[in-house]
Amino acid sequence: MSHVIVIGAGQAGSSCVAKLRNGGFEGAITLIGSEPALPYQRPPLSKAYLLGDMPLERMFLRPDSFYADNNITVRTGEPVTGIDTDAQTVTVGSDTLEYTDLVLTTGSSPRRLPAAIGGDLEGVFTVRDLADVDKMAPWCQSGKTALIVGGGYIGLEAAAVCSKLGLNVVLVEMADRILQRVAAAETSDYFRALHSGHGVDLREGVGLNRLTGEGAVSGAELTDGATLDVDLVIVGVGITPETDLAEQAGITLDNGIATDAHGRTSAPHVWAAGDCASFPYKGERIRLESVPNAIDQAECVAENIMGAAKEYVARPWFWSDQFDVKLQIAGLNTGYDRVVTRDSGAAKSFWYYTGDTLLAVDAANDPRAYMIGKRLIEAGKSADPAVVADPDGDLKALLK
**153-164 and 185-197 helices, crossing angle to 10°:** 10
List CB contacts of 345: < 8 A, sequence separation 6 or more.
Answer: 391
Helix (H) or strand (E) segment spanning residue 190: helix 185-197
Q: What is the spatial distance between Cα 157 and Cα 146, in angstroms, rounded to a whole number?
A: 13
Q: What is the spatial distance between Cα 371 and Cα 282, in angstroms, rounded to a whole number?
A: 22
> Which pLDDT tens digit goes with each residue over 234-288?
999 999 999 999 999 999 999 999 999 999 999 999 999 999 999 999 999 999 9
Bridge partners, 363 (sequence order) = 328, 349
For residue 400, pLDDT beyond 90: no
Contact indicator for 186, 274 with CB cutoff of 8 Å: no
> Which pLDDT tens digit goes with each residue over 182-228?
999 999 999 999 999 999 999 999 999 999 999 999 999 999 999 99
In the predicted model, what is the mean pLDDT of residues 90-114? 97
> Which pLDDT tens digit goes with each residue over 349-391?
999 999 999 999 999 999 999 999 999 999 999 999 999 999 9
Q: What is the spatial distance between Cα 56 and Cα 78, in angstroms, rounded to a whole number?
A: 21
Bridge partners, 204 (sequence order) = 173
Q: What is the pLDDT of residue 246?
A: 98
Predicted TM-score (pTM) of this structure: 0.96
**What domains can be seen in the chain, in order of their start residue?**
3-109+239-305 (3.50.50.60), 112-235 (3.50.50.60), 324-399 (3.30.390.30)
> 266 vs 85, 195, 249, 257, 272, CA distance in Å?
10, 45, 11, 9, 10
Q: What is the pLDDT of residue 46?
A: 87
Average pLDDT, rounded, for the chain: 97
In the predicted model, what is the mean pLDDT of residues 134-138? 96
In the predicted model, what is the mean pLDDT of residues 290-300? 98
In the predicted model, what is the mean pLDDT of residues 302-309? 98
> 347 vs 113, 147, 343, 383, CA distance in Å?
37, 30, 6, 18
> Which pLDDT tens digit goes with each residue over 28-83?
999 999 999 999 999 999 899 999 999 999 999 999 999 999 999 999 999 999 99
Q: What is the spatial distance between Cα 339 and Cα 245, in angstroms, rounded to a whole number?
A: 41
